[in-house]
Chain A
Amino acid sequence: MKGARKELRSVSFRREREAQWQELDALVERALKKGLGTLSEGELRRLPVLYRAALSSLSVARRTAMDRALVDYLESLAARAFLAVYGSRKSTRGAVRRALFEEFPRRVRALAGEVALSTAMVALGAVVAWALMQVDVGWYDAFVAPQLAGGRDPHASTEMLRGALYGEGGQMDSGMLSVFASSLFVHNAGIGMMCFALGFAVGIPTLILLFTNGLMLGAFLSLYADRGLLYELCGWLLPHGIPEIGAVILCGAAGLHMGRSMLVPGRRTVPEAIGDAGRRASMVVLGSVVLFAIAGLIEGLFRQLVTDDTLRYAFAAFNAIWFFGWLLLAGRERTTVERPVPLPEGSKA
């Protein structure tokens, strides 16, 4: 029997939409090759519209079309368009400011428990080192690596220890100081990042790293306290120590957060839990890198140039104010006072 019949449904489906698909294909091609920035305002508005149209075409084709060529093409077109539309967005203005002054302090506050544990670990290390040093000064070498001590050990004279605090014995010029400052920043920020990354081993190496940092701190404090130089040491330590030790503690807390998510994933799968925790914690590490940079500048420049104890303490107080203000106060939602809605006249409460 011969006779005219209607065109295949999938054929007309393709014919009606093919131009739109090609348009999307061209936009996506450019967005992926040359970046979203090369698209004009109008094209940028058109992209998500075309993307959604392609998605609905794909859904229909998957259910109704028997042409593999068509379905394969739509699968790949939709996936490419997804990459262009949901790849990282171009930064809007103020992205850095938001990350540092809203995201970072907020995430730190959300990690309060981990920050407490991290602080406790450093403090425990310091107390242990202090206590052991009271029993036997020889423990010092076990806690502080000789290359870090730079001669500041129990064998050194009190005069030498004091001199180290005020930059005596080998005064450095400003050029050397700046090299020193940036090396310190690089070294410390690297340690901070490692503190976070090691959280991947269920947080155990992070705990150890925090503890050994505490040991070093305690040994130092004990050594100087024995010579009656505790006040002077703190004046030397605190200005840069507040951001620096604070940043180490924060990076440690970030690592512990990740470790905790592996042990207690809750209702999520472990990979999901790690992903959530890692993303939350990463912003804390990013903010800490800024703290390390500030600490490096203070350590390399201010500390060597200002040798007056009172000035040092004043600067330490100033640092404590902005440091805690930033972490505790910045990025809080402004609380809006809700006024009770007055009841309409005559209604009964």
Chain B
Amino acid sequence: MSAAAETATLPKGVLEVVGPEGVPLRFETASVAERFVAYLFDLFLVALTGIILYIGGVLATAVSGLGEPLALVIALAWLVWKFYYIGFEMWWQGATPGKRLLGLKVVSADGSGLTLDGIVARNLMRDLEVFLPLTILLAPQQVLGDAPWWLALPAGGWILVMLGLPFFSREHTRAGDLVGGTRVVRVPKTALRRDEAVRHSLPPDAPVVDAWTFSRQQLSFYGEHELETLAALLRDAQGGKARPEDLQVVAHTIARKIGFRGSAPNEDPRRFLRAFYEQQRAHLERQLLFGKRKASKLDQ
């Protein structure tokens, strides 16, 4: 399948999700560091809630002399600890407070909606991933008990594999993500930038008149990459961030490469560059309609 072939070429840290509509969408997966910070924040909130609950429970027990408040608190604190992540990821669309703080979200890897069973599965693995290694490190007796010492070797090896998983997997997948069929991604945010091919000073319906026209020959020198670089330069010029000398140098270079004759690059480099950009883009888009894509000038 072509989708599988494309996935194989994705760079590390990029997740491609194909939703029910069949359009592949790309996400950046969250880094291990981001997820760790989010986890610490959530852990802090859980611990805080637990401490408050226990203080309340102990006080209520001391005042009333009954055992029931304490019993309630024991069960409640446990439920908060276990269901904090499940609850928030369910009701807050895949984000705990820690994840929201860092702009992260849980998505299902196969592009279907995030479901309760996936959320439960990924969070049931949490203790195994965090507290079991910690216990083994700090108090191995508690876990291994009287088991023969060599049993620690496969157990330790397995735990190392599990802990290493997020670091080495392409999508920073932890064991819980595998089990739940989920991934954690960054919420993308890109503002819509100005289109440099639009003549913003003219009304939208005005006919477009080119100051200079470039020949097919001249337009077939550069590709997409150069076009995008030029767009960035024009955007900078618009924002007053590009120096006039730079514009002049670029205009000269382009004129020389494509064999443009005339004084335009010297007199008004910016207008010249804009005109070139517009027509170059029109040319490349026309070529694209015929299925021809030119990535850069090196692309024949």
User: B115 and A66: CB pair below 8 A?
Assistant: no
Residues of chain A contacted by B25 (CB below 8 angstroms): 75, 78-79, 82
Task: Give the secondary structure class of A's interface.
Answer: helix
Check B209 against A2 for contact (C-beta < 8 Å): yes
Nearest CB to that of B28 among chain A residues? A79
Instruction: Let me know if A5 and B111 touch, CB within 8 A.
Output: no
Those of B75-95 within 8 Å (CB) of chain A: 75, 78, 82, 89-94
- One of B162, B178, B191 near A274 (C-beta < 8 A): B178
- Give min CB distance, B98 to chain A, whole Å: 16
Q: Are B178 and A275 in contact (CB under 8 A)?
A: yes
Interface centre among B25, B78, B194, B231 (most CB of A within 10 A): B25
Most B CB contacts (10 A, CB to CB) among A5, A90, A180, A293 go to A5
**Nearest CB of B to A315, in Å:** 21
B117 at the interface (CB under 8 A from A): yes
Question: Which of B47-55, B179-187, B239-247, B263-271 participates in binding chain A?
Answer: B179-187
Which residues on the A side are within 8 Å of B289 (C-beta)? 64
8 Å CB contacts to A: which residues of B94-145? 94, 105, 107-122, 124-125, 127-128
Give the distance in Å from the alpha carbon of A177 to the alpha carbon of B191 in the complex: 60
> Are A88 and B209 in touch, CB under 8 angstroms?
no
Asked whether, in the complex, the Cβ of B117 is within 8 Å of the Cβ of A280, the reply is yes
A330 neighbours in B (Cβ, 8 Å): none
> Is A11 part of the contact surface with B, judged by Cβ < 8 Å?
yes
Total contacting residues, chain B, CB less than 8 A: 86
For residue A70, which residues in chain B have a CB less than 8 angstroms away from its CB?
192, 195
CB of B74 within 8 A of chain A? Answer: yes
Contact between B70 and A66, CB atoms less than 8 A apart: no
* A308–B259 CA distance with the chains assembled, in angstroms: 105
**Which of B138-163 touch A at CB < 8 Å?**
155, 158, 162
For residue A99, CB closer than 8 A to chain B, the reply is: yes
CA distance A35 to B93 in the complex (A): 8
Shortest C-beta distance, B130 to chain A (Å), equals: 11
Q: A8-B197, A88-B90 are in contact. Are A66 and B113 (CB under 8 A)?
A: no
B89 touches A88 (CB 8 A): yes
List chain A residues, Cβ under 8 A from B21: 52, 55
Instruction: Pick 23 A–B contacts, CB within 8 A, sort by A.
Output: A2-B213, A4-B209, A10-B285, A15-B204, A32-B187, A35-B93, A55-B23, A67-B195, A69-B231, A69-B235, A70-B192, A79-B25, A84-B93, A87-B93, A87-B94, A182-B74, A197-B125, A197-B128, A201-B158, A278-B181, A280-B117, A282-B120, A286-B120
Interface set of B (CB-CB < 8 Å, partner A): 17, 19, 21, 23, 25-27, 61, 65-68, 70-72, 74-75, 78, 82, 89-94, 105, 107-122, 124-125, 127-128, 155, 158, 162, 173, 175, 178-181, 185, 187-195, 197-198, 204, 207-211, 213, 224, 227-228, 231, 235, 278, 281-282, 284-285, 288-289
The 3 closest A-B pairs by CB, nearest first: A175-B67, A87-B93, A275-B181
Q: Which residues of A contact B (CB under 8 A)?
A: 1-11, 14-15, 18, 21, 31-32, 35-36, 52, 55-56, 58-59, 63-70, 72-73, 75-80, 82-84, 86-91, 95, 99, 103, 173-183, 185-186, 189-190, 193-194, 196-198, 200-201, 205, 258, 271-272, 274-283, 285-286, 293
Q: A1-B213, A8-B278, A178-B72 are in contact. List 7 more A-B contacts (CB 8 A).
A: A58-B23, A175-B61, A279-B117, A279-B179, A283-B116, A286-B120, A293-B75
